[in-house]
Copies of this chain bind each other. A is one copy, B any other.
Amino acid sequence: MIFQVQIKVMPLKDLLDPQGKAVLGGLHNLGMTGVQDVRVGKHITLQIDADNEAAAREMAEKASKQLLANAVMEYFEIEFVKA
């Protein structure tokens, strides 16, 4: 079965996010002063061929831990999309 998995990788809440700060400055320069905070991370969609959802989730977690997210600076969330 094919599963569509979405992984969100974001900088940890306690850490500075220079890219987000730069985007915030850019938005303020464009006049959008209502924006108070910006954080920028990665969004990754995986298409996984697995026997069941549990196996697909396990593979997505393994992929996140081993390659996609750096646990020192980032956290990740996994979400399944109906295929």
A residues sitting closer than 8 Å to B (CB atoms) are 2, 8-10, 20, 23, 26-27, 30, 32, 34-50, 55-56, 59, 62-63, 66-68
Contacts and interface: CB of A to CB of B under 8 A. Distances in A.
A55 to B, nearest CB: 8
A42 B44 CA distance: 8
Contact of A10 (B36, B41, B45): B45
Contact of A42 (B26, B37, B41, B67): B41
Contacts of A45: 10, 37-39, 41
Counted per complex, copies of this chain come to: 2
A10 to B, nearest CB: 7
A29 to B, nearest CB: 9
A5 to B, nearest CB: 9
B49 A44 contact: no
